[in-house]
Amino acid sequence: MIWCFLFKNRKHSVRDNQGYVFAGAIGFRKFTYSELKQATKCFSQEIGKGAGGTVYKGLLSNNRVVAIKRLHEANQGEKEFLAEISIIGRLNHMNLIGMWGYCAEGKHRLLVFEYMEKGSLADTLSSNALDWAKRYQIAVGTAKCLSYIHEECLEWILHCDIKPQNILIDSDYQPKVADFGLSKLLQRNNLANSSFSRMRGTRGYMAPEWIFNLPITSKVDVYSYGVVVLEMITGKSAMISIQITDGEESH
């Protein structure tokens, strides 16, 4: 559930006196922790959870429904956090989830995103609500998003955790790739020598490169995407739970 940012020159964000952080031409609202705590009813409306954080449904004071991700790792400085937020702000693609704001107060680090009423691809696959035309549309839209973050945007990004739970669906059944956190920044022109402190991704969707400690490239996302497409075609999950003994499961 981590995006890995790879870029040549790191740039710092600029804030105005209205509390917005500007990244290129995009401004994000800076929320207070108390605002987001109130919006989520004391973080009681959980809608998703991963290694990097927990996502909650929230209602802002202007009645806008949002998804609020509370990051687990709170040891990042505000300056570094805002610099990486500015990178996110320069991304612009119809199949990327939209980010509207953030909170960097004390040790609290939260991100505010648009809310997708239809949930994730995993939800829609399990409900058998997708005909073949919609499945094709979702597959193509997700591929276009990956092509954008790998080849077309100024910052070169690896998602590192493509799976049905991280592909959200809007009201027109367009996919929105989501669930990214903030991670270390690597040099784009030195990817072959780039190292990761730990494996990233979800069992069943992880490329062999992670297992065999090989150089990590955009192919790890392509591999995960291929697994997702297979799930869309077959209707079978990449993860199967097998009961071994009472109270124990294997995947």
Question: Which of 53, 80, 114 is the C-terminal boundary of a domain?
Answer: 114
Residues 6+ apart with CB under 8 A from 238: 163, 204, 205, 227, 230, 231
Question: Which of 60, 89, 114 is the C-terminal boundary of a domain?
Answer: 114
Separation of alpha carbons 112 and 32, rounded Å: 12
Lowest mean pLDDT among 22-26, 53-57, 217-221, 236-240: 22-26
Is 73 within the bounds of a domain?
yes
**Residues 20 and 56 reside in one and the same domain:** yes
Q: What is the percent of the chain with per-residue pLDDT over 90, rounded to a whole number?
A: 47
**Residues 19 and 75 reside in one and the same domain:** yes
**Residues 137 and 222 reside in one and the same domain:** yes
**Residues 108 and 153 reside in one and the same domain:** no
Judge whether 102 and 110 are in contact, CB under 8 Å.
yes
Is 239 within the bounds of a domain?
no
**Residues 39 and 141 reside in one and the same domain:** no
Number of domains present in the structure of the chain: 2
Instruction: Tell whether the torsion through CA atoms of 52, 55, 60 and 66 is positive or negative.
Output: positive
- Mean pLDDT over 226-240 rounds to 89
**Residues 57 and 128 reside in one and the same domain:** no
Judge whether 102 and 21 are in contact, CB under 8 Å.
yes
Instruction: Identify the pLDDT of residue 50.
Output: 73
Tokens for 48, please give them. Answer: 């998703």
The verdict on whether residue 69 carries a ligand-binding annotation is yes
**Residues 74 and 129 reside in one and the same domain:** no
Which strands, in side-by-side order, build the sheet including 14-15?
14-15, 20-23, 26-30, 99-105, 108-114, 65-71, 53-59, 46-49
Catalytic residues: 161
Q: In sequence order, which ranges of 177-247 are alpha helices (DSSP H)?
A: 208-211, 219-234
Instruction: Identify the pLDDT of residue 217.
Output: 87
**Residues 106 and 193 reside in one and the same domain:** no
pLDDT digits (tens, 9 = 90+) for 76-134: 677 878 877 887 777 889 999 999 999 999 889 999 999 998 999 999 998 878 999 99
Per-residue burial over 62-96, b = 16 or more CB atoms within 10 Å of its CB, e = otherwise: eeeebbbbbbeeeeeeeeebbbbbbbbbebebebb
Q: Is the pLDDT of residue 244 over 60?
A: no
Domain containing residue 103: CATH number: 3.30.200.20
pLDDT digits (tens, 9 = 90+) for 128-185: 789 999 999 999 999 999 999 998 877 778 888 999 999 999 999 999 999 865 544 4
Separation of alpha carbons 27 and 45, rounded Å: 27
Is 189 within the bounds of a domain?
yes
**Residues 86 and 133 reside in one and the same domain:** no
Gyration radius from the chain CA atoms = 18
Instruction: Identify the pLDDT of residue 36.
Output: 98
Instruction: Identify the pLDDT of residue 181.
Output: 52
Residue 180 structural domain: 121-234
- Residue 216 is classified by DSSP as P
Instruction: Identify the pLDDT of residue 22.
Output: 47
Mean pLDDT of the chain: 81
Question: Which of 114, 144, 170 is the C-terminal boundary of a domain?
Answer: 114
**Residues 99 and 186 reside in one and the same domain:** no
Residue 115 CA: distances (Å) to CA of 99, 169, 181, 192, 217:
10, 10, 17, 37, 30
**Residues 102 and 202 reside in one and the same domain:** no
* β-bridge mates for residue 102, sequence order: 30, 111
* β-bridge mates for residue 68, sequence order: 56, 112
Domain containing residue 227: CATH number: 1.10.510.10
**Residues 100 and 126 reside in one and the same domain:** no
Q: Quick one: pLDDT band at residue 250, thresholds 50, 70, 90?
A: very low
Q: Is the pLDDT of residue 4 over 70?
A: no
Is 249 within the bounds of a domain?
no
Instruction: Identify the pLDDT of residue 1.
Output: 46
Residue 242 CA: distances (Å) to CA of 170, 232, 246, 250:
33, 22, 11, 5
